[in-house]
Structure formats: structure tokens, C-alpha cells
Chains A and B, each alone.
Chain A
């Protein structure tokens, strides 16, 4: 039987980061990917916060397949036909550890997996690992078919949101609808010059948009848009509970979102060249599996490491950081005598050292806050009415801003105390 010190299942950002770290620390490492190449099955909105890459590959900026460095953040509220956008522009957004960039997963994942291979990890693609291989009740490797087992002291589960191995390992029960959203994304092709002109960007500069309100047609969720080199990634993340309860098809929502005047303006003349959809872990710290057991560590989306606090969507950075932490934990466990549950528990400490668990815990209440349906319907509408009255001059007599706000707040038919509580609750959880 083939044997390795460690087997990593899934060559996404979490898996390749774990494999790279493990290989560097002298573990013979096998990285197994289900797709025919790393990244072909990967799906995400489109932006990566770079900070953990600086730790993993200090020279990352030299050859990392970056589409554009994000220099402008936009938060847009939509009603049926109007939009209100808050835009933040700063060169600081693209400097130092705070840098973020847009990327295409097929290129980025291939790049990171290659780094792991260069460090000595063996990459095997086109194989789906269905099961853990056990001996004497303990995980001893992975199993693909009845006569196809590969042994290892450690299995790192990096399978993504719909991980079956996490359940196989007994670390988590089945996913529940409330724990996941559906992410849907279209890639719209546009010439690089058009993107630069339309979005007011330099050659290497990019913009990110978060859409709230009518983007998801009153369902809990939101929209996003990222500029790549010669394409735009646009999509929605919508509560799967709401989709099934209201019997709405997510692709219909996406089409309507794309046709919204404020969005359409940005995509004019573009051609949809790619379409993808994926589960998005939604509850962060509230849905975390047990992160380690005898011979097993869980990283990335499989561990629910995703933060959506309403204005930043983080997944890939937490995935990379957790991959590094898994490698560090394996090294510590090896020094302590082996990959036992007790020794691997140190993984949490390394996750905390990189602020992964700390950030997840800090925003633990954000998903609950964002379950509040008023956020997706009443408040954006109110905001838009206020903006409309602020900016409309038609000789019918102007009101002071304060009166407009009070008037609209009453018209929204939500008790003022409730509004105040929503506001405070939001500030506290986001």
C-alpha cells in the first residue's frame, strides 16, 4: 500500500496551503484533487485578501496570477429601479498586508498547487476521495474504492463547503438549509480598456461592489461585483432557506439582478461566458465542526471558515491561514509524539494566532443580524426615498433633511424603537 505522512483532500486555497506548509516541514505529502486540475471546480465571488499569502509565499506578488488590485470599495443599496452607492477610494487599499486582489480560481488555485508541488508535495488530480480509511477505529488514510486505499498518519480535510469527509469523520452532522447559502456567479467578458474607462480604473486597478437591498429581491442575501482583467464577476449569495420557502429559482434572481439599471449600466456590451454556482457556508463560528480528531484536521470552507459581515466577504484568506495553521499544528503534534487527538488540538491555538477563530467569533452574531428581513427590504427603500427627496428640486417646496428622515421613518411603518435597536444591534454585530 502507498503511504504518506499526510494526505490533503482538496487542492483549493486551504488544501494547497496546508500541503505547501506540510511539505516544507518535511512531511511526505499527497494532495488529492477531484477536478481534472486544481481550481476547475473552485468557485468564489472574486476577491482575495492577500495577508496570509505574505506569510505563506513571501514572494507571492512576483508571479501570483492577480487580475486587478482592488483600490475602490463600493457599497450599493438597490430598490427596484434606483440605487445609492457609497464609494471609498484609497491607494492604501492596495498596499502592504491590507492588499486585496481579484482573481480567477482556475489560475490562482493552479498557481498555489504548483507552489506545493515545488515544495515537494505530490499532486494527484481527477480522483474523488469518498471515504476515510480506518484501522482499529482510528483514521489511517483515505479510501477511493474497495481496493484503493492510501495510508497516512494525518488526513487534512479541505473539501470545501459540501464536505462529506467531515461527516464521515464524525466531526459534524449533515448540513442544514439555514447553515448554507447558494452562491451564483456569472463572468461577463468586457475589453480591459472598457473596464478601465467605465469603472475609472488604471491598468492594474480594480473595483469591488457589494449590493444590498433589492439585489436579492427581498430574500436574505446580497450581490457582488468584481472587476477582473478583461471580465467582470457578478453574482448573488442568497439564503437557501428563503429560496426553498419562497419557491424562487436562484438563476431567475441572477437574471433580474443583472438587468437592474444600475448593474446593467456597468455590464453593457458584455457577454456572459461562464456560469457557476456553489454552496456558501453562512454561519461561520455558528456551524463549525469539531476541527480536529485522531489523525484528522479540517481547514477552509469544510470547517465553515467564512465571514460575511455585510460589507466584506472573506473566505479564501481564512482558507489559506487555516491551511498554514494545519501545517504548524502537524509539526507541533509530530514533536509531541504523533497525530493523536490530544496533540492535534493545538490546531486551535495556531488558528487563533492568525486571528482566524478570533475573527470568526467576533462576527458570530453577524449572520443572525443579517437574518433580519427589514435589512433587505424596508431600510434600503427608506434610504432611497430619503435620497430621492434630498436631490429632487421641482419647485414643490423643499423640506429640511431632518424632517425628511423623520417622515420617511414613520412611513416605513416600523416602530422607531425597533429601528434604533436594529441600528445598535447592527453596529454591535458587524
Chain B
């Protein structure tokens, strides 16, 4: 069985900074990480590998700085990784991205299961996974928090707004994985040694894959970011109550009640 996991490298959530002038996310010079929902998808793939002796291939699209995350994925236990990297992909929104990734997945070939995170923490569209399934004409289950493979079929628990649903479909298929549904493992010593020995990331250009340059990049992306608003956090009151514990707790409660935070 071959599982392909699509991941993206994003600025680390705690370090998110918005450029005050351009109103866009700063991506250069900030620490990065594997998009957290993608890390959950990777962990799910690695658990399937533990159970079914699957081969796990990790795929990403972006600049070569993304090697860092692909290497981490291999150090965690993935077998190999592919980075689709080409200047002409710059500025692609979710439409060309889903197209380019689906072409790359076809070049890798031989897949049974495709896993993506439910969305990315830097853009939060959730388009790319379903887009890939569309291009490849595959059945898909979104927001999966548990996946079982039995008798050549996939059963997945899907987190819906008002409960959970169990879905079943045939392989090959695509699942997007629920953020936080598992705890991604740490890299192993053996995995880190494999990375140090080299050759765990394969770089492909659009030409290598056979991607149509007229379908990717900024000018072939139907959406544009017209405006970004930053939310201003209210300033904290910063009141300090001092004195006997009993008294100060009373003061705190009274003040919370007065502000309507809690009811008496």
C-alpha cells in the first residue's frame, strides 16, 4: 500500500506576524513548521504504516526552504519525499495548487490513499485536498479523525458540526484529516540519521512533471487577496487586588459580576 501525504510549510503559529504596510503574512525570516493539520495527516499515515506496512511518501509544493519540513517528515518515519519546486508556480492560489499537486501525485503513481490536512493555518481555505480529489476523480472523506483500512475499503470517522459520521468508500481515495485528532510523533534518531545521509527529498520542476505552465502561477489564479483586516485585541484592564486571600477573591468575583463576565 502506498500513502501519499500532502504537507505545507507555514510560519510557526506563535510567531505569526503581519506586515503592517502590505497587510500580508510575513514568511521570510520567521521560524517555520509543518502546517499543524498536515502533521496530523502525516501521523495518521505513519500509524497506517505501523499497522499495514505501507510506504509513506510526503509531497509538498513550494520553495526549496520547504526541504526542512520534508526532512522532518522523513525523520518522523516517512519513507521518502517529493518537492515540486519551480519559479513559475509562484503566486498560485488553491486552484493551480490543486492542479499541480494532482499532476505530481500521478507522476508518483501507484497510490492507494491520499491524505491532506483539513486546512492550513496560514490561509485556512481547505480547498486543496478536495481540489486534488476532483482532478483525480477520487472519492473523498473530509475532516476524518480516524481511518481504518479493512478488506480493501476505507472506513473513516468524519467530524461534523453536530456529531460524528462513519463513512466507507473504496480505495484509492482521498481523506482530509481533522486538526488535532492525534499527537504527531517526534523524529527518531534512525530517521535523523537517514536525513543526514542525504537523498531523502526529490526535487521536481513543472517540466519534470509535465505541468502546463499556462495553468499555474499568479496570473492563472482566479482569486486575489483584496484586503486584509487585522483584529485589534482589546487592552487588558490589568487590575491587581491585594490583601487577604478571602477578601481579594471576593473583590475579584464582585468585579467580574459587575462587568457581566459571570452571573452572581
Contact = CB atoms under 8 A, between A and B. Distances in A.
B interface secondary structure, majority: helix
A145 B189 CA distance: 9
Interface stretch (B9-17, B109-117, B190-198): B190-198
B193 A144 contact: no
Contacts of B192: 124, 126-127
Interface residues of A, number: 17
A148 interface: yes
A124 B188 contact: no
A78 interface: no
B63 interface: no
Contacts of B187: 126-127
Contact of B193 (A124, A129, A147): A124
A148 B190 contact: yes
A399 interface: no
Contacts of A142: 189
A122 B196 contact: yes
Contacts of B190: 1-2, 148-150
Nearest to A145: B188
A19 interface: no
Nearest to B185: A145
Contacts of B196: 122-124
Interface in A116-134: 122-124, 126-127, 129
Nearest to A7: B189
A329 B190 CA distance: 27
Contacts of A122: 193, 196
A150 B192 CA distance: 11
A30 to B, nearest CB: 7
Nearest to A124: B192
Interface in A146-199: 147-150
Interface in A295-337: none
A32 interface: yes
Contacts of B193: 2, 30, 122, 124, 150
Contacts of A32: 189
Contacts of A145: 188
A212 B189 CA distance: 45
Interface in A29-79: 30, 32
Nearest to A149: B190
Contacts of B194: 2
Interface in B160-196: 187-190, 192-194, 196
Nearest to A1: B190
Contacts of A124: 189, 192-193, 196
Contacts of A129: 189
A373 to B, nearest CB: 41
B200 to A, nearest CB: 14
Contacts of B188: 127, 144-145, 147-148
A109 to B, nearest CB: 19
Nearest to A127: B189
A145 B190 CA distance: 10
Which of A1, A126, A129 has the most chain B CB atoms inside 10 A of its CB? A126
A124 B179 CA distance: 30
Interface string A93-127: 00000000000000000000000000000111011
A32 B192 CA distance: 10
Contacts of A2: 189-190, 193-194
Interface string B189-217: 11011101000000000000000000000
A142 B192 CA distance: 14
B254 to A, nearest CB: 36
Given A1-B190, A124-B196, A148-B190, 15 more contacts: A2-B189, A2-B190, A2-B193, A30-B193, A122-B193, A123-B196, A124-B189, A124-B193, A129-B189, A142-B189, A147-B188, A148-B188, A148-B189, A149-B190, A150-B193
7 contacts: A2-B189, A2-B190, A32-B189, A123-B196, A127-B187, A127-B188, A149-B190
